[in-house]
A = this chain, B = another copy of it.
Amino acid sequence: MSIKDSNSRSPATYGGSSSGLNKEFGSHFIIELINCSPDRLKKVKDVKQIMGEVVQKSKSTVVRSSFHQFQPEGVTGMILIRESHFAIHTWPEESYVAADIFTCGQEMDPYIAMEVMEERFEAKEVRYQVIRRGF
């Protein structure tokens, strides 16, 4: 996964939003990946590799990333991106992944990110909701 620094972040979008917010700062995708391949969810090495692909294909710019191995298996990880963040938590024993993507700006594509996660974790079902962030 390439780590690239960045010096600015996307500003708020003012008014005229379909979300009903006066100031919108980004979209938060809350994603449930169901009936995944458990073998892909057990170890940091595998989850990190898949998330590296997600980051690259969705054209995200990584600023920092951090993963933690649970024992005997299961992973929690976060990737700070210029466009905000990815978070991922795996439960191999339930073939389940809870992921979320907070994206501000138009540079990265969260739909491609979800597609890559679905494919590489071999999820049989994906449910998601989008929350517009701001006030």
Contacts and interface: CB of A to CB of B under 8 A. Distances in A.
Question: Interface majority SS on A: helix, strand, loop or mixed?
Answer: strand
Interface of A: 6-9, 11-12, 23, 25-26, 28, 30, 32, 34, 63-68, 70-71, 74, 76-78, 80, 84-85, 87, 89, 91, 93-94, 96, 98, 100, 102, 104, 125, 127, 129, 131, 133-135
B30 A74 contact: no
Contacts of A127: 135
Contacts of A71: 7-8
Given A23-B94, A30-B133, A66-B66, 12 more contacts: A9-B70, A9-B74, A12-B94, A23-B96, A28-B100, A63-B68, A64-B78, A78-B80, A78-B85, A89-B104, A96-B134, A98-B134
